[in-house]
Amino acid sequence: MKRIIDISISSGLLLILLPLLLLISMINILLNKGKILFVQDRTGYKGRVFKIIKFKTMNDNANEKGELLTDGERLTIFGRFLRSSSLDELPTLWNILVGHMSLVGPRPLLVKYLDRYSDNQLRRLEVKPGLTGWAQINGRNSISWEKKFEYDVWYVDNRSLKLDFIIIFKTIGQVITGKGISHKNHSTMEEFMGTNK
**Global pTM value:** 0.88
Name the residue ranges covered by the structural domains of the chain. Answer: 2-177
Q: Closest Cα partner for 94 from 134, 55, 59?
A: 55
Q: What is the pLDDT of residue 187?
A: 55
Lowest model confidence (mean pLDDT) among 63-72, 90-99, 113-122, 123-132: 63-72
Give φ, ψ of 98 to 5 degrees. -85, -5
Q: What is the pLDDT of residue 181?
A: 59
> In Å, how far from its chain's centre is CA 97?
15
Instruction: Report DSSP state, residue 113.
Output: G
**HEC per residue, the chain:** CHHHHHHHHHHHHHHHCHHHHHHHHHHHHHHCCCCCEEEEEEECHHHCEEEEEEECCECCCECCCCCECCHHHHECHHHHHHHHCCHHHCCHHHHHHHCCCEEECCCCCEHHHHHHCCCCHHHHHHCCCEEECCCHHHCHHHCCHHHHHHHHHHHHHHCCHHHHHHHHHHHHHHHHHCCCCCCCCCCCCCCCCCCCC
Do 151 and 180 touch, CB atoms closer than 8 A?
no
What would the mean pLDDT of 73-97 be, rounded to a whole number?
92
Residue 33 confidence class, pLDDT cut points 50, 70, 90? confident
Rounded to whole angstroms, the Cα distance separating 137 from 157 reads 17
Segment 54-69, tens digit of pLDDT: 999 998 888 888 888 8
